[in-house]
Amino acid sequence: MSIDPLLVRARGLWEDMASVPVSFAPIGGVSVVVSPESGMCPAGWVGVVALGGSAIVTAPSEDAAVIVRDAFATLPVETVADADAVRGVLPVARVLGPAALAYVFPDGLRPVSSGALTVEQLPGRHPDLRRLEKLAGDDDAGEAGLDEITSPAFVVREAGEVVAAAGYRAWPRRTAHISVLTAPGWRGRGLARVTGSATTTHALAAGLLPQWRARVPESRRVAMALGFRELGAQLSIELA
């Protein structure tokens, strides 16, 4: 049986993010490794990424790895990125996520026309993006991560103000990690689809693999409307 090439690309990315040698088991299972420098989670935390029926997990120390291996041995692999399931087997102080991980190849993209809207490009450090983040609030701005993009920002204005923006940050393995943010008063009008479509098209034209990481259902729906396929999830765990 051939392996989904989109899944192969996504797994390769997160194997690199682990910062130590680790691989997703081809027939399912959970691989736990010690990686104090893991890029899968905040420093000192446990990082979990489940993709296509297998998972890799990084732990900050050997002691933590032993605890996680023993605990995850009692869970079905499809639940290791489920916060409630993990709380049932591990001493958890805090969690981040889970966040769905979705990807798209050029032949799967469903681009959205801007219609009567004008999509403008701005440098990623443009002050108008910072004003949008203030409008959105710290929580939503932090979730979107527009301040980390390395691409141009694709924005929509209303009365001169940026009310929606998207861009991407260059990640390992030629991956484009997409960020999308819409001002609260302008949500539900399709602006995330328009700016997200422009950003994804730009990334694909550069030969990159777009990644859409989303926690909230609204963001996940935007990704799926654009043709992204959810392949798994990411969870970060701070042990008590």
Sign of CA dihedral 66, 67, 69, 70: positive
115 membership: H or E segment, kind and range: none
CATH number for position 212: 3.40.630.30
Q: Both 142 and 211 in a single domain? A: yes
Residues 215 and 114 in one domain: yes
> Tell me: the pLDDT tens digits for 133-152?
999 999 999 989 999 999 99
Do 143 and 192 lie in one domain? The reply is yes
85 and 201 part of one domain: no
Answer yes or no: do 214 and 125 share one domain.
yes
pLDDT band with cut points at 50, 70 and 90 for residue 113: confident
pLDDT score, position 2: 64
174-231: pLDDT as tens digits: 999 999 999 998 999 999 999 999 999 999 999 999 999 999 999 999 999 999 999 9
Is the same domain home to 111 and 134? yes
Distance of alpha carbon 48 from alpha carbon 174, whole angstroms = 21
Q: What angle do CA 235, 4, 19 make, to 5 degrees?
A: 40
- Residue 16 lies in domain: 5-99+233-239
Same domain for 152 and 124: yes
Report the distance separating Cα 190 and Cα 154, nearest Å: 14
Question: Could you tell me the CA-to-CA distances from 48 to 14, 127, 225 in Å, in that order?
Answer: 10, 35, 26
Q: Are strands 29-34 and 54-59 parallel, antiparallel or unpaired?
A: parallel
- Whether 16 and 65 share a structural domain: yes
Q: What is the mean pLDDT of the chain?
A: 95
Residues 126 and 85 in one domain: no
pTM for the full model? 0.94
* 117: pLDDT strictly greater than 90: no
| Residues 90 and 114 reside in one and the same domain | no
pLDDT, residue 115, reads 80
Number of domains in the chain: 2
Same domain? For 153 and 46 the reply is: no
Domain match, 226 and 131 both: yes
* Rounded CA separation 208/214 (Å): 19
pLDDT of residue 110: 96
CA distances from 161 to 6, 120, 125, 126, 156 (A): 37, 12, 16, 12, 8
pLDDT band of 101, cuts 50, 70, 90: very high
